[in-house]
Amino acid sequence: LDYQHVQVPFEITLWIMLASLAKIGFHLYNKLPSVVPESCLLIFVGLIMGGIIYGLNDRSPPVMDSDIFFLYLLPPIVLDAGYFMPSRPFFENIGTILLYAVVGTIWNVFGIGFSLYGICQVKSFRLQDVSLLHNLLFGSLIAAVDPVAVLAVFEEIHVNEKLHILVFGESLLNDAVTVVLYKLFRSFCEMPTIKSVDVFAGIGKFFVVGLGGVLVGLSFGFTAAFTTRFTKDIRVIEPLFVFLYSYLSYLTAEMFHLSGIVAIISCAMGMKRYVEANISLKSHTTVKYFMKMWSSVSDTLIFIFLGVSTIGENHEWNWPYICFTVIFCLVWRALGVLVLTFFVNRFHVNTITSKDQFIIAYGGLRGAICFSLVFLLPDFHRKKLFIAATTVVILFTVFVQGMTIRPLVDLLAVKRKRESAPTVGEQIHIRFLDHLLAGIEDISGHWGQYYWKDKLEYFNSKYLQKILLREYDQPKSSIVLLYEKLERKHAMELAQAGQLGHGLAHPSFLCSAFLCSSSDRTVITDQKLEDTPNPDVLDNMQEILARNLYRIRRTGPAYNRHTLPGDSEPTERAKEILILRHKGL
Amino acid sequence: LDYQHVQVPFEITLWIMLASLAKIGFHLYNKLPSVVPESCLLIFVGLIMGGIIYGLNDRSPPVMDSDIFFLYLLPPIVLDAGYFMPSRPFFENIGTILLYAVVGTIWNVFGIGFSLYGICQVKSFRLQDVSLLHNLLFGSLIAAVDPVAVLAVFEEIHVNEKLHILVFGESLLNDAVTVVLYKLFRSFCEMPTIKSVDVFAGIGKFFVVGLGGVLVGLSFGFTAAFTTRFTKDIRVIEPLFVFLYSYLSYLTAEMFHLSGIVAIISCAMGMKRYVEANISLKSHTTVKYFMKMWSSVSDTLIFIFLGVSTIGENHEWNWPYICFTVIFCLVWRALGVLVLTFFVNRFHVNTITSKDQFIIAYGGLRGAICFSLVFLLPDFHRKKLFIAATTVVILFTVFVQGMTIRPLVDLLAVKRKRESAPTVGEQIHIRFLDHLLAGIEDISGHWGQYYWKDKLEYFNSKYLQKILLREYDQPKSSIVLLYEKLERKHAMELAQAGQLGHGLAHPSFLCSAFLCSSSDRTVITDQKLEDTPNPDVLDNMQEILARNLYRIRRTGPAYNRHTLPGDSEPTERAKEILILRHKGL
């Protein structure tokens, strides 16, 4: 027996296997996951495993290595989140998200830090040796909402898209703030005196870390898109580039002390559109599937490790400090959301309701990022207290808040996500309205989101597409692209021979379709003659559209991390096809 | 800048990136890969990189770590090989393959070992200090044909299926023999005296190592199949199990000093059928795609590392020894193939032609396995000579034989692989003949391959399927399964509305189809009443088949490692669909 030789890969494989089997186990009993979130169950499994290890070895089980977490477990989850991020609601609410992520997190850090310092002054608690700086350092790691925990809970409760993106976007983008504040306070702790220059340098760092991350991510994303231009002859390695470049963007950002999370998200969002157009359909399925698989395993492992690491003798149980940490986390977050939303609502027509505010405040779950950061703290005599407090906060938010948020959403009747994707008609009208609003903004001289979106779209079709797409002949009008996409989907899904609907589409529908089809608004105003499609092509297209847009196809909702859209049962489908064919004859 | 922190994953990612980009680079110039095999180009890239590293650092570049090779690079390639192994030709020729793999390898080991020992006795070569045991040890590592090198060359030259499976199967199954002989001689080298008991124990080990590998592989394979019964609700982690279980089977076999290659191949072949039936179509696409991608990257990395490791000062250039090694490798292999084939041909109707024999002998390429084994040798004063000889043999076989084998195949007009897959009619007739031959063998009392195949099939449908398949209601007749598969494929590929052919299939065709449809031959003879399908179902099926088997669909050939079958251009397809729809109206 030669165990030493294969130990590393063997144990890694076994851990992943355990995680996957645990997942299967939960899903065998359908009722369990509908009451208790999976994250709680997984932490529970971890606790049991940790208990077993502790019992057998009589020493603390190994804690999750922070390097393993940040280098191997976190990137797949963030990549998945970035790649499947619904870009429209994200960019529509980017201002609000940034406000929550930056100002909100700073508010929480200082709020929690200062009030805990206040608690430390109470003599009977015996905490007078914890300095203000250490409290602020602790605040900086405990204040940040955790994307993994948020995702794990919110994907199961199906709240409306805007609410989801507000909480989830915040949890992703606050990484830049957390990184800066954490490192700043940690270096302050080691400095003898703090000069005001250092504080200003810290503020400057926010922008460097955040914008640097975006820059690194976008450059890797565009390189990835450019690379996939040349993979036509070797389709099998296409999916690799998506993973390699995004991982490189994360590592590069980490190497330069920038925000890796921001980098990988920008990379994924930047490349998605072009990569999808360049790679083959099967490659794309593989990319999507593997991303989901990987993130789901990472996420499972993280929660199990969280459970395992909780067991042991790393903790100093000073209950006043721990209880007040939990209370301050809740109170400062609630206050922050209230105040910030007040300002946000003053500048928006589509306001955030008080129910939504409650869910945003309540959904501020903490998770493995805090946990890894607290273990990365330099050794000092109160580290075990911080570890204990962090553990309790995480368990409290994941178990208590995670388990009660679903009943609360039901009770408050928070607006849910619509189950069906928009129909073709709706999509066309949305696009039409976008053009219209961009025109109105242009005329009124207001540079709003539609103006910028339109400019970006113009820049994209004028320059980026030419460089990054393989088969770039001329800018295809968006309606043709949409039609192609639907047609391809249809071909994949249904082969219902002879079941063509022959009804003509309503004229107004066609009309609006053709208004949009001249893809760029600027085309209409400025370059009418240059870019107008050939009349033959137009006629041809009109006929095809009129005869074939006969059925509104419902596509699956885009969010859930554990299923792919349109993932129905193949045998079901095969059966359906058989029946339809049979009827057709 | 914090490079230390991210070094390991960063460098791994960069190496993979380099490998992928090199692959893209070769395919940009279409003429290059058609003349020079990719493996040669990759070794060449490796040589250049090694030269650069050597030039910059002025010391030998790092050699490929044997652990990395055996634990991380080899398994994906073997898994891919096992999973996509065409099982019919493999089992039809299993006797011949085993003869080549076991007897042929032993023949080569002793032939090369003893004749090199003879060379060592020539005084002017100054090699008298190399003992017989060391020569045999060297023979045991240099004799084995390498699956990675064989696959890289043979997949490009498209010889007929039988020839391919003979060479490739041998290269895979000789692993058991190589492992045993290599370890035996290595332990003999360290023993003071060798008893005859040790020799007999060595012979016994063959069976343990080989059959143990099969056993480990099959048990993991069946466990994998069983696990996928329960993944209906979490489709995304299905592909994971295929990879996890096969990797575990490899690691477990290695742990017990069994043949890991044999284990992973048995695992893949054992699970394939059941896993495919249990998992969703998209999961299956992902499994296939990812396997191909992974093996293709591993293979690229291996050849690049081979090139890099060649550069340096690890070599002792004793030219007589090296040249005679190359010559003996060629001569003993040629002799071995001639002698063994003589015996094989006496017992087979379908003989191996002399052209085929030449290609089998000439296709005995050596590769990274020898290279890793020679570095694993214990340190002794002639190790560098063995390294030099191994390097030259590998480079000679990969470059000279690899580059000339394609012209030779053309020159000799070796029978090529048929380009198209068998049609539905052919498939049905093949199956029908199998049943017939099994019956004849049964009556004549000859227990041949058809007899065993039939027994296995019976055991499978009677017991295994019930345990391992999720939706196991009753044994579906094979013709229905085939039809379902084709129908599903058709649904995926073409959505050509209203293009149904209405011609009835020929009666005799239907007749043979229904002869086969009573899936088990034993059903006809023994259990006629129990398993005969319901007459309603039969009528229904008859009608469906008669109307829908209207077009013989050609499926892609099954072999090539770098493309998936039916991987045509989606835009092409979409265009075709558009045109057909249009016409249909």
CATH number of the domain where residue A374 is located: 1.20.1530
Using a CB-CB cut-off of 8 Å, the residues of chain A touching B573 are 488, 491
Lookup result for tokens 């589409």: A505
As a whole number of angstroms, the distance between CA B516 and CA B537 comes to 16
Same domain as A181, residue A71: yes
Tokens 């058989």, residue located: A578
For residue B28, what is the nearest residue in chain A, using CA coordinates? A230
Q: Which residue of A has its CA nearest to B255?
A: A2
User: CB–CB of A282 and B289 under 8 A?
Assistant: yes
Q: Quick check: is B381 in a domain? A: yes
Chain A residue closest to B235 (CA)? Answer: A563
> φ, ψ for residue B61 (rounded to 5)?
-65, 160
SS (H, E, C) B562-578: CCCCCCCCHHHHHHHHH
Q: How many angstroms separate the CA of residue A6 from the nearest CA in chain B?
A: 6
pLDDT at A1: 72
Cβ within 8 Å, pair A27-B234: yes
CB-CB: which of B10, B490, B547 is closest to A585?
B547
**Separation CA A414–CA A83 (nearest Å):** 27
Angle, vertex CA B143, rays to CA B140 and CA B149, nearest 5: 125
Burial bucket for residue A204 (CB in 10 Å: 0-12, 13-18, 19+): exposed
Tell me which of B578 and A506 has the higher pLDDT.
Answer: B578
d(Cα A403, Cα A424) in Å, to the nearest integer? Answer: 37
Helix (H) or strand (E) holding A442: helix A424-444
Residue A13 Cα, gap to closest chain B Cα (Å): 6
Q: Which of A21, A186, A228, A293 to mutate to test the interface with B (most CBs of B within 10 A)?
A: A293
Residue A27 lies in a domain: no
Beta bridge partners of B301: none
Q: B316-328 in b/e burial notation, b at 16+ Cβ within 10 A?
A: bebeebbebbbeb
Residues B171/B147, Cβ–Cβ less than 8 Å: yes
Residue A576, min C-alpha distance to chain B (Å): 11
**Count of all residues that appear for chain B in the document:** 585
Higher-confidence residue: B327 or A432?
A: B327
Identify the band that residue B506 occupies on the pLDDT scale cut at 50, 70 and 90: very low
* pLDDT tens for the 585 residues of chain A, in order: 778 888 889 988 998 998 888 888 887 776 777 778 888 888 888 888 888 888 887 777 777 778 888 899 999 989 998 898 888 888 888 889 999 999 999 999 999 999 999 988 888 888 888 888 889 999 998 988 888 888 888 888 888 888 889 999 999 888 888 888 888 888 888 777 777 777 788 788 888 888 999 999 999 999 999 998 888 878 888 888 999 999 999 999 989 988 899 999 999 999 988 888 888 888 888 898 889 888 888 888 988 888 888 887 778 888 889 999 999 999 999 999 999 999 999 888 788 888 889 999 998 899 888 888 888 888 888 888 898 999 999 999 988 998 888 888 888 888 877 767 677 777 778 878 888 888 888 788 777 777 788 788 888 878 888 788 877 555 555 566 666 666 666 665 554 333 333 333 333 333 333 444 433 333 333 333 334 445 565 566 555 554 544 333 333 333 344 444 444 444 555 555 566 666 665
> Which of B6, B68, B155, B223 is best to mutate for the A interface (most A CBs within 10 A)?
B6
Residue B560 lies in a domain: no
Q: What local confidence, expressed as pLDDT, does residue A563 receive? A: 44
A45 in a domain, yes or no?
Answer: no
What is the count of structural domains for chain B? 2
Contact across the interface for B487 and A577, Cβ inside 8 Å:
yes
If you compute the radius of gyration of chain A from its CA atoms, what whole number of angstroms results? Answer: 26
Q: Do A293 and B281 touch (CB under 8 A)?
A: no
User: Which pLDDT score, from 0 to 100, does residue A339 have?
Assistant: 93
Number of H helices, E strands in chain A: 29, 0
B336 with B454, same domain? no
- DSSP letter string, A200-239: HHHHHHHHHHHHHHHHHHHHHHHHHHHHGGG-TT-GGGHH
Give which of A549, A480, A487 is closest to A518, Cα–Cα: A480
Q: Which residue on chain A is closest to B233 by alpha carbon? A: A27
The closest CB to that of B562, out of A234, A244, A573, belongs to A234
How many helices (H) and strands (E) chain B has is answered by 29, 0
The amino acid at B151: L
B282, B168: one domain: yes
Range B50-63 average pLDDT: 79
Residue with tokens 């249904």: A494
Specify whether the backbone of A312 is left (phi greater than 0), alpha (psi in -120 to 50) or beta: left
Helix (H) or strand (E) holding A264: helix A260-278
- Candidates B337, B330, B321; CA nearest to B128 is B321
Q: What is the pLDDT of residues B332-375, one digit of tens each?
A: 999 999 999 999 998 887 888 888 899 999 988 998 888 888 88
Q: Supply angle C-alpha B459, B479, B541, rounded to 5.
A: 125
Cα nearest neighbour of B503 on chain A? A585
Q: Does A578 sit within 8 Å of B13, measured CB to CB?
A: no
- CA–CA distance, A544 with A434 (Å, rounded to integer): 25
| Helices of type H across B99-195 | 105-120, 132-142, 147-157, 161-190
Closest CA to A415 of A100, A163, A96: A163
Quick one: which of B535, B540, B548, B420 has its CA closest to B482? B548
Best residue in B16, B21, B24, B252 for a mutation probing chain A (most A CBs within 10 Å): B24
Residue of A nearest to B256 (CA): A1
How many residue pairs bridge chain A and chain B with CB atoms within 8 Å of each other? 238
Residues B255, A28: C-beta atoms closer than 8 Å:
no
Put simply, the answer to whether A282 touches B581 (Cβ < 8 Å) is no
Domain hosting residue B365, numbered range: 64-292+316-412
The identity of residue B294, as a single letter, is: W
CA distances from A575 to B30, B498, B539 (A): 43, 19, 17
**Which residues of chain B does A280 touch, with a Cβ-Cβ cutoff of 8 Å?**
567, 569-570
Cβ density class B39-50: b for 16+ within 10 Å, e for less: bbbbbbbbbebb
Instruction: For helices A238-255 and A260-278, give the axis angle rounded to 10 degrees.
Output: 160
Nearest CA in chain A to B573: A488
At A190, list the tokens.
Answer: 């080691």
Interface touch A283/B297, C-beta < 8 Å = no
Residues B69 and B102 in one domain: yes
Of A3, A234, A574, the CB nearest to B487: A574
Pair B340, B467 in one domain: no
Chain B residues with CB-CB distance to A230 below 8 A: 24, 27-28
Q: Look at A17 and B67 and tell me if their CB atoms are within 8 Å.
A: no
Nearest to B285 among A16, A286, A585 (CB): A286
User: Does the structure show a pLDDT above 80 at B46?
Assistant: yes
The SS3 of residue B159 is strand
Are residues A436 and A347 located together in one domain of the fold? Answer: no
Chain A nearest CA to B571, separation (Å): 8
Which among A20, A254, A584 is the nearest to B5, CB-wise?
A254
| Residue B332, amino acid | W
- Write the residue in A488, A499, A574 that is nearest to B570 by C-beta: A488
Do residue B282 and residue A289 have CB atoms under 8 angstroms apart? yes
The residues pairing with A159 across neighbouring beta strands, listed in sequence order, are: A416
Interface-testing mutation among B7, B286, B290, B541, with chain A (most A C-beta atoms within 10 A): B286
Distance from CA of B354 to the nearest CA of A (A): 35
CA atoms within 13 A on the CB side of B219: 10
Q: CA of B10, closest CA in chain A: separation in Å? A: 7
pLDDT at res. A184? 85
Q: Tell me the pLDDT tens digit for each residue of B445-493.
A: 777 777 788 788 888 878 888 888 877 655 555 566 666 666 666 665 5
Closest chain A residue to the Cα of B585, Cα to Cα: A547
Residue A508 lies in a domain: no
Q: Establish if A363 belongs to a structural domain.
A: yes
Helix (H, G, I), strand (E, B) or coil at A283: helix
Is residue B511 scored above 90 in pLDDT?
A: no
Taking CA–CA distances from A490, the nearest residue in chain B reads: B495
> B209 and B258 in contact (C-beta within 8 Å)?
yes
Rounded distance, CA A168 to CA B447, Å? 66
- Residue in chain B lying closest to A243 (CA): B13
Over residues B519-529, the pLDDT tens digits come to 333 333 333 33
Q: Which long-range contacts (CB under 8 A, 24 or more apart) does A55-60 make?
A: A60/A311, A60/A312, A60/A313, A60/A314
CA distance B274 to B563: 23
Same domain, B360 and B466: no
Q: Nearest-CA residue of chain A relative to B72?
A: A9
CB < 8 Å & 24+ apart, contacts of B274-277 = B274/B222, B274/B225, B274/B228, B274/B464, B274/B465, B274/B468, B274/B469, B275/B224, B275/B225, B275/B228, B275/B241, B275/B242, B277/B469, B277/B470
Q: What is the mean pLDDT of chain B?
A: 79
Q: How far apart are CA A156 and CA B396, in angstroms?
A: 60
Structure tokens, B110: 């002793």
pTM of the predicted model as reported, rounded to 2 decimal places: 0.78
Q: Are residues B389 and B439 in the same domain?
A: no
Is A337 contained in some domain?
A: yes
Shortest CA distance to A283 belongs to which of B203, B336, B290, B574?
B290
Residue type, B268: A
Nearest CA in chain B to A25: B230
Instruction: Inspect the interface and report whether the beta carbons of A2 and B257 lie closer than 8 Å.
Output: yes
CB-CB neighbors (< 8 A) of A257 in chain B: 2
Q: Which residues of B193-352 form beta strands (DSSP E)?
A: none
- Whether residue A547 lies inside any domain: the answer is no
A535 CB-side CA count, 13 A: 1
Rounded to whole angstroms, how far apart are CA atoms B384 and A266? 50
Cα torsion A297, A300, A301, A302 to 10°: value is 120
Using CB atoms, which residue from A234, A280, A500 is nearest to B23?
Answer: A234
Contact assessment for residue B493 and residue B405, using Cβ atoms and an 8 Å cutoff: no
Q: A412, A434, A456: which is the final residue of a domain?
A: A412
Mutate to test the interface with B, among A4, A21, A24 (most CBs of B within 10 A): A24
- The answer to whether the CB atoms of A285 and B280 lie below 8 A apart is no
Q: Give per-residue pLDDT as tens, B2-27.
A: 788 888 899 889 989 988 888 888 87
Among the listed ranges B152-166, B435-449, B463-477, which one has the minimum average pLDDT value? B463-477
B379 & B455 share domain: no
pLDDT band at B552 (very low <50, low <70, confident <90, very high): very low
Rounded (5°) CA angle B566-B555-B489: 70
3-class SS letters over A339-367: HHHHHHHHCCCCCCCHHHHHHHHHCCCCC
The reply to whether A68 and A217 lie within a common domain is yes
What is the nearest CA distance from A447 to chain B, expressed in angstroms?
38
Interface test with B, best of A15, A18, A237, A496 (most B CBs within 10 A): A237
Q: State whether A374 and A435 are in the same domain.
A: no
* CA of A2 vs chain B CAs: smallest distance (Å): 5
Residues A150, A277: one domain? yes
